[in-house]
């Protein structure tokens, strides 16, 4: 391969060789490859010609539209590294004529596109983007990024005759589901703020919009709570030899990540696990357990994932503590949903605890499951008073809870249908196929791509309770960044398409062609994706 007068370093040459290894080069520079947008837009129609982005291209927004300006600046920054262009974002009235332009507007757009939809017209001299909401402008900008040649993702500047063209076309696009998520477990293995931001970038690129941040568990408490400093002083550190794996986010860092995500149209949903999976909290404040402790943080050993020690549901001090914690959480996270765990709660401590038994009696509760329902009810009312909604793992239904409680479905016997029929909003994250800690032999990319969130026998009203789905990455088995990348990619792209694109457009064969193109982009972005064995692509 001849790099001509491209000003590239050996590292990027390797990347380019790898990236374009399969394209035949008629002239010095390769022509743009196949169009590969993931998730596939709802409607895309090719027109003749191309739009060429050059250093004199301008981004145009309506006067005073700060949100569109932010999207424009973001796109300008995303294309600046590879191109070296500093594309200005100008208000429409300031535009000089005869430059090529990309216009981002929210005025006069087709409202039926909804809060995340957009239209794009790529014409030879200009690109016109219209979306009723800035979220749609952002998604349009990520589509444009994917329509540019893949070298746009180069971390190093490409000079010479690089061709930054986009084929002319019309796109009309909107998502199928409103909850398109990824869960990151930062308790079992702490992830740095910058790593979380990197996954947020990748989520935005593939139009995913919900980051479920699993901040607390038996292996670590990862969020600073001002009123309870022991939670991070004690609770953020693994016991024994895992000590070096500790870590937590300060409230300033949390705010920084939440704002970073918002710029990429990702909403961050915090999870504070209770009453189970709470050894880190109880090691910090043992008086909140039924026994009074001592409690130690448990290094995650395969097969030992559920621990007896839980918050005492008969102790009023526990309710005070949980409400104080949630008060700070609500201040940090604008998310309408606050996740409070509720999975895998052993009842042995409650059975033996005089306080818990007294509470069961005084509240007229049937048993320990009803006690969990009582606790959920109190947390629900507390969050409602703060203008938020409670969401919990599907085990939350072990106790009686009101139908306004949202449910994250992962493994419940009886499946999804009875949950939506009982009127709960549901987010799907079934272990099969959306647990991304599982191997690709179990949950292959193909299997993820075949996942259909809506069961056949639901009425439209029942279907409306299915908010969407998310992949869950539990971090107990894979504890380094390379491995985490591979667990998440490329199968996250399959999920992105399931959740965004119309079901009628889904074709595994056609997707695999686009996926191969996307892998070249992932390479340039430094994402280490899993090379699946042929066998793991089988449809089980």
Catalytic residues: 217, 277, 344
* C-alpha closest to that of 282 among 338, 328, 239: 239
Q: Contacts with ligand ACM: how many residues (CB under 6 A)? A: 4
How many CB atoms within 10 Å of residue 496?
24
Residue 356 sits in the site that holds Zn ion (CB under 5 A) = yes
| Residue in 158, 312, 408, 419 binding Zn ion, rule: CB under 5 A | 312
Residue 355 sits in the site that holds Zn ion (CB under 5 A) = yes
Q: Which does 410 bind (CB under 5 to 8 A by kind): Zn ion, ligand ACM, none?
A: ligand ACM
Q: Do the beta carbons of residue 463 and residue 426 sit within 8 Å? A: no
Residue 307 sits in the site that holds Zn ion (CB under 5 A) = no
Q: Which does 473 bind (CB under 5 to 8 A by kind): Zn ion, ligand ACM, none?
A: none
Residue 230 sits in the site that holds ligand ACM (CB under 6 A) = no
How many CB atoms within 10 Å of residue 204?
22
448: phi then psi, degrees, rounded to nearest 5: -65, -40
* Closer CB to ligand ACM, 201 or 344, in the complex: 344
Q: Which does 393 bind (CB under 5 to 8 A by kind): Zn ion, ligand ACM, none?
A: ligand ACM
Q: Do the beta carbons of residue 144 and residue 126 sit within 8 Å? A: no
Instruction: Please report how the helices 508-524 and 491-500 are oriented relative to each other, as an axis angle in degrees rounded to 10.
Output: 120
* Closer CB to ligand ACM, 131 or 488, in the complex: 488
Residue 360 sits in the site that holds Zn ion (CB under 5 A) = no
| Residue in 62, 110, 230, 344 binding ligand ACM, rule: CB under 6 A | 344
Give, in order, the Cα–Cα distances in Å from 209 to each of 204, 259, 269, 333.
Answer: 7, 13, 10, 15
Q: Which does 39 bind (CB under 5 to 8 A by kind): ligand ACM, Zn ion, none?
A: none
Determine the Cα–Cα distance for residues 190 and 221; give it in Å rounded to an integer: 10
Residue 435 beta carbon to ligand ACM: minimum distance, rounded to whole angstroms: 7
Residue 35 beta carbon to ligand ACM: minimum distance, rounded to whole angstroms: 38
Alpha helices by DSSP H, listed for 243-353, are 251-263, 279-284, 316-332, 348-352
* Closer CB to Zn ion, 317 or 540, in the complex: 317
What is the x/- site pattern for ligand ACM, positions 394-433, by CB under 6 A? ----------------x-----------------------
Q: Do the beta carbons of residue 274 and residue 226 sit within 8 Å? A: no
Which helix or strand (DSSP H or E) is residue 76 part of?
helix 66-83
Determine the Cα–Cα distance for residues 432 and 443; give it in Å rounded to an integer: 7
459 burial level (CB within 10 Å; 0-12, 13-18, 19+): exposed
What is the x/- site pattern for ligand ACM, positions 377-396, by CB under 6 A? ----------------x---
Residue 343 beta carbon to Zn ion: minimum distance, rounded to whole angstroms: 19
Residue 142 beta carbon to ligand ACM: minimum distance, rounded to whole angstroms: 30
Binding stretches for Zn ion (CB under 5 A)? 290, 312, 314, 353, 355-356
Binding stretches for ligand ACM (CB under 6 A)? 343-344, 393, 410
């Amino acid at each position: 391969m001849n790099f001509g007068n491209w000003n590239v370093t050996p590292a990027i040459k390797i990347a380019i060789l790898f990236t374009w290894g399969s394209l035949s080069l008629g002239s010095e520079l390769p022509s743009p490859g196949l169009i590969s947008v993931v998730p596939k837009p709802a409607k895309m129609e090719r027109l003749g010609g191309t739009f060429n982005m050059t250093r004199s291209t301008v981004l145009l927004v309506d006067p005073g539209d700060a949100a569109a300006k932010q999207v424009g600046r973001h796109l300008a920054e995303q294309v600046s590294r590879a191109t070296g262009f500093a594309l200005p974002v100008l208000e429409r009235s300031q535009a000089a004529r005869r430059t090529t332009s990309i216009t981002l507007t929210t005025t006069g757009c087709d409202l039926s596109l909804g809060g995340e939809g957009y239209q794009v017209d790529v014409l030879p001299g200009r690109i016109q983007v219209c979306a009723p909401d800035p979220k749609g402008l952002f998604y349009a900008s990520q589509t444009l990024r994917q329509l540019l040649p893949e070298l746009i993702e180069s971390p190093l500047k490409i000079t010479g005759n690089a061709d930054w063209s986009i084929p002319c076309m019309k796109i009309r696009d909107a998502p199928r589901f409103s909850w398109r998520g990824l869960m990151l477990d930062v308790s079992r293995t702490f992830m740095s703020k910058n790593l979380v931001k990197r996954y947020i970038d990748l989520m935005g690129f593939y139009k995913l919009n919900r980051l479920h941040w699993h901040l607390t568990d038996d292996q670590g408490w990862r969020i600073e709570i001002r009123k309870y400093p022991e939670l991070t002083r004690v609770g953020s550190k693994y016991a024994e030899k895992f000590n070096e794996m500790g870590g937590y986010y300060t409230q300033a860092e949390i705010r920084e990540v939440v704002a970073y995500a918002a710029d990429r149209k990702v909403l961050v949903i915090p999870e504070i696990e209770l009453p189970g999976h709470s050894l880190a909290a109880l090691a910090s404040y043992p008086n909140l357990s039924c026994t009074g402790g001592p409690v130690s943080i448990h290094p995650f050993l395969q097969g030992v994932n559920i621990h007896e020690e839980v918050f005492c549901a008969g102790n009023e001090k526990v309710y005070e503590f949980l409400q104080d914690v949630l008060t700070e959480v609500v201040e940090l996270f604008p998310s309408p949903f606050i996740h409070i765990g509720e999975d895998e709660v052993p009842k042995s401590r409650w059975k033996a605890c005089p306080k818990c038994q007294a509470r069961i009696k005084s509240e007229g509760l049937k048993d320990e499951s009803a006690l969990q329902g009582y606790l959920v009810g109190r947390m629900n009312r507390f969050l409602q008073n703060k203008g938020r909604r409670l969401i919990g793992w599907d085990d939350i239904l072990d106790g009686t809870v009101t139908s306004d409680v949202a449910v994250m479905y992962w493994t419940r016997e009886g499946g999804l249908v009875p949950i939506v029929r009982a009127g709960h909003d549901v987010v799907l994250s079934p272990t099969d196929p959306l647990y991304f800690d599982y191997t690709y032999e179990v949950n292959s990319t193909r299997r993820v791509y075949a996942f259909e969130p809506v069961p056949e026998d639901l009425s439209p009203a029942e279907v409306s309770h299915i908010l969407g789905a998310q992949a869950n990455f539990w971090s107990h088995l894979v504890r380094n960044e390379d491995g985490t990348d591979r667990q998440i990619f490329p199968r996250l792209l399959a999920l992105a398409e399931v959740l965004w694109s119309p079901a009628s457009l889904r074709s595994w064969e056609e997707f695999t062609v686009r996926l191969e193109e996307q892998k070249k982009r992932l390479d340039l972005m430094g994402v280490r994706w899993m090379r699946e064995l042929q066998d793991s692509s089988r449809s089980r």
